[in-house]
Amino acid sequence: MKTILILGAGLSASSMIRYLLQHCEKENWRLRIVDRDKNRILSLINNNQHAEALDFDATVPSVRLAEIENADLVISMLPARFHVEVAEDCIRARKNLITPSYISPEMKALNQKAIDAGITIMNEIGVDPGIDHMSAMKIIDKIKDNGDTLHSFKSFCGGLVAEEHDNNPWRYKFTWNPRNVVLAGKGGTAMFLDNHKFKYIPYNRLFDRLDRITIPGHGKFVGYPNRDSLSYQETYGLKGIATLYRGTLRRPNFCKGFNVFIELGMTDDSFAMANASQISPRDFLNAFLPYIPNLSVEDKFKYFLREDRMYLYDQFEWLGVFDDDTDFGFEGATPAKLLEKLMVRKMSLSNEDKDMLVMYHEFEFEQDGKNKKIVSSMISIGEDPTYTAMSNTVGLPIAISARMILNDQINVKGVTLPIQKEIYEPILKSLEENGIIFNEYESEL
């Protein structure tokens, strides 16, 4: 019998735990799961005899290490800042580890130690990062193996609301940590390659300069650039490529509207507003509008929007930016925190809503002197509030890779991510069997 220790059972862990539970009997596994919210674990494992909810605090090193020593594989779904210390524990105990998070420089520095300990530390194996790597590498390798030349790779991913529930004027509901959505792009200037030129987009233009994308049957999307596309030259082996761009997908209304908040300065998270506890949504907006005597907040906002963006007015009114309720502000609130509260009040998923995960890759390459294009896209719809598209697409690759590691099907040691053919091929195949399917379409340019 093999033991899988799962640290953290938050939003994205449900589908992963379901998959693992489905395989426990056949594979002879037992799951030991810990989370601050024990009731959540109990509801997810639903009396399954192969799983146990634990009681310790996974962020306390001493108790955690004892549990790790008793496991065959550790899956860390803790906040990313804990992954490095968990990895150090796993190296000490010589146990394999999986995390869905980006490899931090500190994590990368553990590579040799992990190799010396003979373990695999598999990272970036959720959806983005994760499925994006695997589905992109599949086509990049295919183009390379065929001796063709890849000129351009653009890739987009976004968590949205499923079309049948996409019923607000922003065309967006939060399917993930709202704070991250409100602070998106704050990490620094976005960088990418466009036709061999380095291009930089500052935060204040991030939601203004959008790529337009249409997915047949699913309508129009736009993409705003992720922070650093340049690093993928190395990760994906694309040195010399002309165009390299990674972005986040949204519906156009969301980006056009959010751009107004950025322009106004309402996404600032660096200071607490004066009188924050008494502020209404109307006061909040007005604090960022020009002072023009005798104009209402509505009229000042219209003046700021300008004629060419006036079609956005209704979606701001719907959001409640002009509301006067004082049960809104709170002590020490930054603009970004107030904006998050304003949006969460109106744009949260209800229990009836389903979410939607969209991934879209575009490859341009030269084959026998001809310019060709491959579009590969995936749309995943959530099942219910527990088994969301986000949870399925994050959790299933983790669970599948867990199965592979326990069955010695992954032989890469050290700190790694799923870009090798022997890893992504079986995982993508298993994902297909679980309904996460990419549509590929090749055409001449």
Q: Which of 223, 335, 395, 397 binds a second copy (CB under 8 A)?
A: 335
Q: How far is the CB of 333 from a second copy (least distance, A)?
A: 13
Instruction: Find how far residue 439's CA is from the centre of its chain.
Output: 21
Rounded CA separation 363/347 (Å): 34
**Is the CB of 85 or the CB of 194 nearer to a second copy?**
194
Quote the least distance from Cβ 377 to a second copy, whole Å.
23
Provide, rounded to whole angstroms, the least separation between the CB of residue 211 and a second copy.
11
| Rounded least distance, CB 228 to a second copy, Å | 9
Our CB check for a second copy shows the closer of 231 and 348 to be: 231
Which of residues 199 and 341 has its CB atom nearest to a second copy in the complex? 199
Quote the least distance from Cβ 185 to a second copy, whole Å: 12
Can you list the alpha helix ranges (DSSP code H) found in 52-82?
61-69
Place of tokens 């104009």: 295
Structure tokens at 160: 């949205």
Which position among 215, 287, 312, 381 is part of the footprint of a second copy (CB under 8 A)? 287
Q: Does 265 bind a second copy (CB under 8 A)?
A: yes
Q: Which is nearer to a second copy, 61 or 265 (CB)?
A: 265
Query: CA distances (Å), 129 to each of 224, 233, 395, in order?
Result: 17, 15, 12
Nearest distance from C-beta of residue 335 to a second copy, angstroms: 7
Which stretch, 2-10, 79-87, 187-195, 408-416, contacts a second copy (CB under 8 A)?
187-195
Q: What is the dihedral of CA 163, 169, 174, 175, to 10 degrees?
A: 10
d(C-alpha 260, C-alpha 302), whole Å: 11
Cα gap 83→81, rounded to integer Å: 6
Stretch of residues binding a second copy (CB under 8 A), selected from 92-100, 142-150, 185-193, 423-431:
185-193
Of 28-36, 53-61, 85-93, 261-269, which segment contacts a second copy by CB under 8 A? 261-269
Structure-token pair, residue 2 = 């093999």
407 touches a second copy by CB under 8 A: no
Binding mask 188-217 for a second copy (x = CB under 8 A): xx-x--xx-xxxxxxxxx---x--------
332 binds a second copy (CB under 8 A): no
Count the helix, strand and coil residues of the chain and give each as a percent rounded to the nearest 5.
Answer: 40, 25, 35
In whole angstroms, the minimum distance from the beta carbon of 203 to a second copy comes to 8
Burial of 402 (0-12, 13-18, 19+ CB in 10 A): buried
Shortest distance, CB of residue 151 to a second copy, whole angstroms?
13
Q: Contact with a second copy (CB under 8 A): which of 273, 319, 349, 396?
A: 273
Q: How many residues bind a second copy (CB under 8 A)?
A: 33
Contacts of 143 (CB under 8 A, 6+ apart): 149, 150, 363, 365, 374
Binder of a second copy out of 105, 240, 293, 369 (CB under 8 A)? 293
- We find the least distance from the C-beta atom of residue 188 to a second copy, in angstroms, to be 6
Applying CB under 8 A, which part among 118-126, 147-155, 163-171, 256-264 lies near a second copy? 256-264
Q: Tell me the two tokens of residue 125.
A: 């194996």
Cβ-proximal residues to 318 (8 Å cutoff; 6+ apart), any chain: 168, 169, 170, 346
CA separation for the pair 10, 387 (Å, rounded): 12
Hey, how many other C-beta atoms are within 10 angstroms of the C-beta on 420? 15
3-state secondary structure of 269: coil
Orientation of helix 131-145 relative to helix 389-406, angle to 10° = 70
By CB under 8 A, residue 105 contacts a second copy = no
263 binds a second copy per the rule CB under 8 A: yes
> Using alpha carbons only, what angle is made at residue 355 by residues 83 and 398, rounded to the nearest 5 degrees?
30
* Residues near a second copy (CB under 8 A): 188-189, 191, 194-195, 197-205, 209, 230, 262-265, 268, 270-271, 273-275, 286-288, 290-291, 293, 335
